[in-house]
Chain A
Amino acid sequence: MQALYAQLLVGLINGSFYALLSLGLAVIFGMLNIINFAHGALYMMGAFCAYFLLNLTGIGYWWALLVAPIVVGIFGMILERTMLQWLAGLDHLYGLLLTFGIALIVQGVFQNYFGSSGLPYAIPDYPQIGEWRGLQGGMNLGFMFLPVYRGWVVIFSLVVCIATWYLIEKTRLGAYLRAATENPTLVRAFGINVPRMITLTYGLGVGLAALAGVLSAPINQVRPLMGADLIIVVFAVVVIGGMGSIMGSIITGFALGVIEGLTKYFYPEASNTVVFVLMVLVLLVKPTGLTGRAA
C-alpha cells in the first residue's frame, strides 16, 4: 500500500512535465493553429541551454530557469518570423510537416556534436540554508523517500501552469490574444499588431517547453533525443485533453502522469503504451478530446 502512494506521487511528478509541455503545445495550437512538432526538440534545447550556461558561462540552475526559456524563446520567435508565419491560413498538415522537419534537423545537429549518451547536469546545491543544501537530498515521508528536487518540480510547474492559464484566460492581454485568433482583421482594425502578438505567443509556448527542459536536466541525462522520446506521449496528452484547451491540457497532463505511474506499479511492461490505449478509448467516445470544443 505504501508503494502505491509512492507511485501516485511519482506519477504526479512526471505529470508536471507532461502538463508544462502540453500547455505550451495547447497555447501554440490554440492561438496559432500550428501543431508544433518541434516542441520536443525545443524542450531538449532548453536542457542543453542550461548545460551550456553552467559550463561555458558559469550561470547556474536558478538563473538558467529564467535565461534558458528566453534564449530558446527568441530562437522560436525567429523560427516563427522566418518560416511558420507563411503557413498561416493553410492546412494544419503543412505546419506539422515543417515543424517535424525542424525537429529532425535540430536533433540531428545536436546528436552529431554531442553523441547520444548525453551530458551530466547536477541538481543545484545552493542556496545552502541550515541543513538544506539547495535542492539536493530528500525527505523521508514515511511511505517513501522524496527527493527535494522532485517536490520542487511539482510545485514550480503547478505555479507556472496556473500563471499561464491566468494570463490567457483572465487578463486583458489574453483577451486580445484570443480575439486575435478568432478574428484577426477586426482586432487589427483596433490598432493592435496581430503578427507581433502571434510571434510573442509562439515565443511563450516555446519558452514553456524550454523551461520544462531546464527542469528535467538534473533528473534525466541531457541528451539530444530526450525530447523525441517524450513528445509522442505529450501529443497523446494533448489529444486526450482536447487540442487547444489550456486547462484541459494542464489537468490531463497531471492525470496521465498518475495513470502511467500506476501502470508502472501494476503492470510495468505496459507503461509505455497505456497513454495511447487511453487516447484510443477517449477518441472513440469523444473525438474532440475530454475538454475540447467541437471545431
Chain B
Amino acid sequence: MKHRISALFLGTALALAAGGGAMAQDKTVKIGVLTDNSGLYSDLGGAGSTLAAQMAVEDSGLAAKGWKIDIVSADHQNKPDIATTVARQWIDVEKVDIFVDVLNSGVALAVNNLVKEKNAIMINTGAATSDLTNAQCSPNTIHWVYDTYMLANSTGQALVKAGGDTWYFLTADYAFGHALERDTAAVVVKSGGKVIGTVRHPLNSSDFSSFLLQAQASKAKIIGMANAGGDTTNTIKQAAEFGIVAGGQKLAGLLLFINDVHSLGLKVAQGLNFTETFYWDLNDGTRAFSKRFSERMKNKAMPSMVQAGVYSGLIHYFKTIDAMGGNPHDGVKVVAKMKEAPTDDPLFGKGTIRADGRKLHPAYLFEVKKPSESKGPWDYYKLVGTTPGDQAFRPLSESACPLVKK
C-alpha cells in the first residue's frame, strides 16, 4: 500500500515535471490565414496566401527540429463582423497563435483590436490602411508589405513631379479607400499639386461610367483610383472605353496588383504607373520562389505581393520562435523579439521592423509594359524607380503611434 502511494506520488511528480518542461519547450504553432476566399480580392490573397504559408512552413525546416505547425484558413467575406467572429473562435477554441494575410482594411482594423486584447500576433500582409502602424498601432501587429502612406508617397509624388498637378479621386467608400485618398491628397498638396474633386463609390461596383464622367468633366490631369481589385480593373477598362486616357487625362492606379494587370490584359493596362514592394521578376530569389509557387497554384498564377508577404513574414516569425527555443504563446513577447532581429529573405531582401510595427523594405515604381515589350505570360512590369525602405514609409517623427518614444 505504502509503495503504491509513493509510486503514485512519484508518478504525479514526474508527470508534472514533464508537463512543466513541455511548457517551456512547447514546439507547437497554429497559423490562421484569414482572408477573402471568395470575393473580389480572392486572387490577391485567398488560396494563394494559404499556399504561401504552407511553403513557408516547408522551407523553415522546423518540422525536422521537432516542431508541429498547423495551418487553418477561413473566408472573412470582407466583413469585419464575420472576421472578428472567426478570429475570436480561432484564438479561444483552436488556439491560433498568429494571423497572416487579413486583407481588407476594415477587417484588419477590427482584427487588430482583437489580437491585441487576446495577446495573439498579426502579420498583416494584405490590408493597406496606414492606421495599422499609426494611430491604431499595436504591440501585437506587424504591417508587412505596403500601406497607403507608402503608395501615396511613391506614386503620388512621382506623378506630380511629372506634371500631374491637378487630381480627381475615385474612391472606394470604406476605411481603405478613405485612408488611401487622404494620404495621397496630402502628398499631392505637399508636392505642389491640387485636389479638385472626389467621388466616393460603393465597394464592389460593376459600373463606373457615371463616376468616370464626373472625373472627366472635372478636367483634372490625374484621376487617382483609390480602390482595389475588381473595382480598379473595371475602372481602368471603362476609362479606356470612355476615351479618358486618349483625351489627355492620366489614370493613376494607387493600388494595383499583378493579378489585376493579368486579368486586364496588357492592351488595356499598358502605361499605368503604380507602386509595389514585390514583383516575381525582380531578381533570382524572387524568380525561384515565384516559379515554385506558380507551379503549385491551380491557375499557374504568379504570387501577388500580399501572398509573397505571407511567406516572408512567416519565415521571419519561424526564425524568431526557433531562436527562442519554443513557442511562449505570448504575442507581445514574440513580436518584440521579431522587431529586434533584422529580416532577410529572398523575396523582400534585407529589412527591419520598426517600433511601430512597420516592416521596412524598398518600394518599386513600375510601369506596365506594352504588349510588344512583353516576352510571355506574366512578363508585365518595367521598373521605373526604387525608393529605399527608410524613405518609402511614414517617418517615425510624423507617427502618432503610442509605441514610439519621442
Binding site for B on A (CB under 8 A): 2-3, 6-7, 10-11, 13-14, 111-120, 122-123, 137-138, 144-145, 147, 149-150, 219-221, 223, 225-226, 229-230, 261, 264-265, 268-269, 271-272
Interface contact B216-A117, CB-CB below 8 Å: no
Residues of chain B lying within 8 A (CB to CB) of residue A271: 201-202, 205, 210
Interface contact B241-A219, CB-CB below 8 Å: yes
Binds A, one of B64-72, B113-121, B261-269, B362-370: B261-269
Given A6-B213, A14-B207, A265-B214, A118:B233 Cβ within 8 A: yes
Cα–Cα distance between A115 and B216 once the two chains are bound (Å): 32
B210 CB contact (under 8 Å) in A112, A122, A145, A264: A264
Binds A, one of B40-48, B134-142, B147-155: B40-48
Given A6-B213, A14-B207, A117-B260, A221:B43 Cβ within 8 A: no
Interface size in chain B (residues, C-beta < 8 A): 44
Residues of chain A lying within 8 A (CB to CB) of residue B217: 2-3, 6
Cα–Cα distance between A145 and B201 once the two chains are bound (Å): 21
A7 CB contact (under 8 Å) in B200, B213, B298, B299: B213
Interface contact B206-A226, CB-CB below 8 Å: yes
Interface contact B230-A221, CB-CB below 8 Å: yes
Interface contact B243-A147, CB-CB below 8 Å: yes
Given A123-B241, A229-B204, A271-B202, A115:B265 Cβ within 8 A: no
Nearest CB to that of A270 among chain B residues?
Answer: B202
Residues of chain A lying within 8 A (CB to CB) of residue B233: 117-118, 221
B38 CB contact (under 8 Å) in A14, A111, A272: A111
Asked if B275 lies at the interface with its beta carbon under 8 angstroms from chain A, I say no
CB-defined A-B contacts under 8 Å, sample of 6: A116-B41, A117-B262, A145-B216, A221-B237, A223-B230, A265-B210
Residues of chain A lying within 8 A (CB to CB) of residue B268: 120, 122
Interface contact A120-B264, CB-CB below 8 Å: yes
Residues of chain A lying within 8 A (CB to CB) of residue B243: 137-138, 145, 147
Cα–Cα distance between A71 and B159 once the two chains are bound (Å): 47
User: Which B residues between 19 and 72 are near A, CB-CB below 8 angstroms?
Assistant: 38-43, 46
Interface contact A7-B210, CB-CB below 8 Å: yes
Interface contact A268-B211, CB-CB below 8 Å: yes
Residues of chain A lying within 8 A (CB to CB) of residue B214: 3, 265
Interface contact B42-A115, CB-CB below 8 Å: yes
Interface contact A272-B299, CB-CB below 8 Å: no
Asked if B9 lies at the interface with its beta carbon under 8 angstroms from chain A, I say no
- Closest CB of chain B to A176's CB: distance in Å? 38
Nearest CB to that of A148 among chain B residues?
Answer: B241
Interface contact B230-A10, CB-CB below 8 Å: no
Asked if B199 lies at the interface with its beta carbon under 8 angstroms from chain A, I say yes
Give the residue among A116, A144, A225, A271 with the most B Cβ atoms within 10 A: A116
Interface contact B230-A272, CB-CB below 8 Å: no
Asked if B173 lies at the interface with its beta carbon under 8 angstroms from chain A, I say yes
Interface contact A269-B42, CB-CB below 8 Å: no
Nearest CB to that of A229 among chain B residues?
Answer: B206
Nearest CB to that of B38 among chain A residues?
Answer: A111
Cα–Cα distance between A49 and B238 once the two chains are bound (Å): 21
